[in-house]
Chain A
Amino acid sequence: MTTLSRLTALILAALLALTACSGSATSGSKSLRMTVWTANEAHLKLLNEIAAEYKASHPDITEIKFDSIPADGYTTTLTTQIAGGNAPDLAWILEESAPDFVASGALAPLKGKIEKADELVPSAVRLWEKDGELYAYPFSTSPFGLFVNTSLIKNVPARWTWDQAIAAAASSKGLVLPDFKYQNWAVLSAIWRGWDANAWSDDGRSCGFSSQEMKDAMSFVHKAIFTDKAIPGPGTTVDFFAGNAAMAISQISRAGALKDAEFTWTLMPLPSGPKGDYAVIGQAGVGVLKRSKNAEAAADFLGFFTNEANSAKLAQFFPSVRSSLLNAETLAKSNPLIRPEQLQSVVVDGISKGVVKPSHQGQEELNQTIRAALDPLWKPGANVSAVLDDVCTKIKPLLERK
């Protein structure tokens, strides 16, 4: 019978191991986990320093872990973790998923936890608010600007018009939109806002792609790609940061990639469009997951993470929306690569006047639907007007959905 009892013991052990996998460590001492999309060593070092300082004054917090998830597919990974019952305590959230996260009730309210919440620039906070409550702190607000390789293009003015910029790009090595890739159409808002075009109305109910402004703007983009050959066509990758393009539209947080550039460069505000000057910003917020067991402690840490002193430290990588920090002098201290007047025109003016990249509830489904509907546009001789009308036909049911 000994063989039998040994086997039984073995099975029991196996079963125990199985159940142990499903359970997790019990609380008592708390540990926090924040999902982030950066794996940059300098970023993580700063985050860990802030966390260490917080832990020193909060002995009940044993660990604050920053969990790097690749930016590509970040939201998908995050929601899969949430679906799998393994939600982080805090999470960085991209502007495009903001409406989904804020509206769904997945995030815990924060207003009482944020130091001097009234000094946050209103236009930058709008996306993260619902019914007067703040659901995520916009820790990074990064305007789009025009990077120009001045080794290739000399004598650049303080600000171009779009026609001038495209002419200059066509006569040199072209203009790239590194994050666009003929997929992430929302990046094009950095161009079409110059025509006063919008993806959809402010209330998000009606489609803006078939508007005359959008048709004019997209005709301009189409011509720049296929007629003027100023923007590389679909399927080709050209790296501005390696010196292979004359200019790039990108967020200023990318300036770090130019630290070791072997060419000279400058940063300009986005060219002015037919409807004048404008600015477009990308944003990221950090929120506390309501489902977290340690939501209270997490919100408390977030308050510390975003207080004035830490915001100032974070601003060297992630431009702050605190009005006290939003000036060229403060920014210059932490952005040695960018000159103060550039910081003023691109960052300070950009954040205070800028429009956030388009976002909507159900953004990812809209993204894919619009991406697919816009595909026929990216070939020579496309009928711009017909394609854009079709985009509206396709997304109308999605915009009208509750």
Chain B
Amino acid sequence: MTFWTYRRRDNLVGYLFVAPALLGSLAFVLVPLGLVGWYSLNEWNVLGGTFEFIGAENYQRLLADEKLRSALVATAWFAAGLVVLNLSLALLLAVLLNQKLRGTTIFRTLFFSPVLVSLVAWTLVWQLMLQPEGSVNGLLGFLGVDGPNWLRGDTTAMISVIVVQVIKNVGLNMVLFLAALQGVPAPLYEAAKIDGAGPWTRFRRITIPLISPTILLTSIITIVGSLQVFAQIAVLTQGGPGTSTTVLIYYLYQQAFQFHHFGYGATISVLLFVIVAALTLMQWRMRRKWVLHET
């Protein structure tokens, strides 16, 4: 009886096969995650080179931080606006482009192409277009509307950031919806038609339930993505005017990298992590209610 039985040997080989991936996620995900937790319990003065354990002090500061509250509100607005606009537009486009008409391929390509554009380049172009004398207001002027200074108004700045992000990414959700729509068996529609169901009823009673797994997937992706919005804010508004577009991750960046409060920045990351985890868990739980059909 040797130590290296076939079973043990097989197991070892298996572990070795997953080791590269495991090591990668250990080095680049789990260890940094643990370190963020550790940093959040310390006051870290980068310039002075001091690193001092302060326990829960950063977390107490988190609770009393008024700017954090305003950042959370901005984040909620951004996420809500993005999810509602992105998902409804993506579904609408997918339904329209799911028709067997000539030219749909061109439109599909057109709506998907922004997804492939570099994020910063996309945002920079929009920054130019949203200037007071930019092409957006030029177009509005053509229609007789006096456009606002989009990126400098409290409400219009937030709307601008949301719309720029929606147009950038709506194509991705559209493709996912298209795939789902094409997976809905045609006989179901035929049967419903015979039973006298109109287009709206067919959409509500057949399409929506059958594509609900995709709705869940896209909403998770979009919400988690909305919490990570950074480049758009950094380029378009720098969190302004006032603090109206200072979302959580931009506030984190300011605290850690601009104000040199790395410990407090880490504490905000922990909060962001908790929020993302909670939202994902919640959506996952709700799938039993939402998702009527799971394969």
Residues on A lying within 8 angstroms of B by beta carbon are 1, 3-4, 7-8, 11, 14-15, 18, 76, 79-80, 82-83, 100-101, 104-106, 182-183, 233-237, 290-291, 362, 364-365, 368, 371-373, 375-376, 378-379
- Check B47 against A235 for contact (C-beta < 8 Å): no
Q: How far is the CB of B20 from chain A (nearest CB, A)?
A: 7
Looking at B16, B19, B47, B241, which has the most chain A CB atoms within 10 Å of its CB? B47
> A109: shortest Cβ distance to chain B, in Å?
15
Given contacts A100-B47, A234-B152, contact A79 B260 (CB under 8 A): yes
Given the contacts A372-B242, A372-B243, A106 and B19 also touching, CB distance less than 8 Å:
no
Chain B stretch 193-237: residues in CB contact (< 8 A) with chain A:
none
A18: B residues at CB distance < 8 A: 23, 27
In the complex, whether B6 has a CB less than 8 A from a CB of chain A is: no
Closest chain A CB from B93 CB (angstroms): 31
Of the candidates A237, A375, A376, A379, the one having the most CB atoms from chain B within 10 angstroms of its own CB is A375
Please, what's the 1-or-0 string for B44-87, where 1 marks a CB less than 8 Å from any CB in chain A?
Answer: 11111100000000000000000000000000000000000000
Q: Tell whether, in the assembled complex, residue B258 and residue A365 are in contact, meaning their CB atoms are under 8 Å apart.
A: yes
Give the residues in chain A near B259, CB-CB below 8 Å.
362, 364-365, 368
The 9 A-B pairs of least Cβ separation, nearest first, read A104-B47, A375-B241, A104-B48, A106-B47, A365-B259, A83-B46, A364-B258, A7-B16, A235-B132
B→A interface (CB under 8 Å): 4, 9, 12-13, 16, 19-20, 23, 27, 44-49, 131-133, 149-152, 238-243, 246, 254, 257-260, 262
CB within 8 Å: A-B pair count: 88
Shortest distance from the beta carbon of A237 to any chain B beta carbon, whole Å: 7
Minimum CB–CB distance from B242 to chain A (whole Å) comes to: 5
- Complex partner residue of B240 from A3, A11, A106, A371, CB under 8 angstroms: A371
Known A3-B13, A291-B49, A375-B241; further 8 A-B contacts with Cβ < 8 A? A8-B16, A105-B49, A234-B152, A235-B151, A368-B239, A372-B243, A375-B152, A375-B240
When the two chains form their complex, are residues B23 and A14 in contact, meaning their CB atoms are under 8 A apart?
yes
Asked whether A79 lies within 8 Å of B19 as measured between CB atoms, the reply is no
In Å, the complex CA distance between A194 and B239 comes to 31
Enumerate chain A residues within 8 angstroms of B246, measured Cβ to Cβ. 372
Residues of A within 8 A of B260 (CB): 79, 100, 364
Beta-carbon contact of A76 and B239 below 8 Å: no
Q: Given the complex, which residues of A lie within 8 Å of B23, measured CB to CB?
A: 14-15, 18
**Cβ–Cβ < 8 Å partners of A371 in chain B:** 238, 240
Which single member of A8, A82, A375 contacts B46 (CB below 8 Å)? Answer: A82
> Do B45 and A104 touch across chains, with their CB atoms under 8 A apart?
yes
CA distance A347 to B160 in the complex (A): 43
Contact A4 B9 (CB under 8 A): yes
CB-CB under 8 A from B238, the residues of chain A are 183, 371
Q: Report the separation of the CA atoms of residues A375 and B44 in the bound assembly, to the nearest whole angstrom.
A: 31
Chain B residue numbers with a CB within 8 Å of A291 are 49
Report the Cα distance A3→B45, complex, angstroms. 50
Tell me the complex Cα distance, A375–B152, Å.
8
Residues on the A chain within 8 Å of B16, using CB: 7-8, 11
Q: Contact at B46–A235, with CB atoms within 8 Å? A: no
Task: Determine the residue in chain A with the shortest Cβ distance to B130.
Answer: A235
A76 touching B49, Cβ below 8 Å: no
Contact of A79 among B132, B133, B151, B257 (CB under 8 A): B257
* Residues of A contacting B257 in the complex (Cβ-Cβ under 8 angstroms): 76, 79-80
Instruction: Give the residue name and chain of the B residue nearest to A10 (CB).
Output: B16
Contacts of A290 in B (CB 8 A): 49
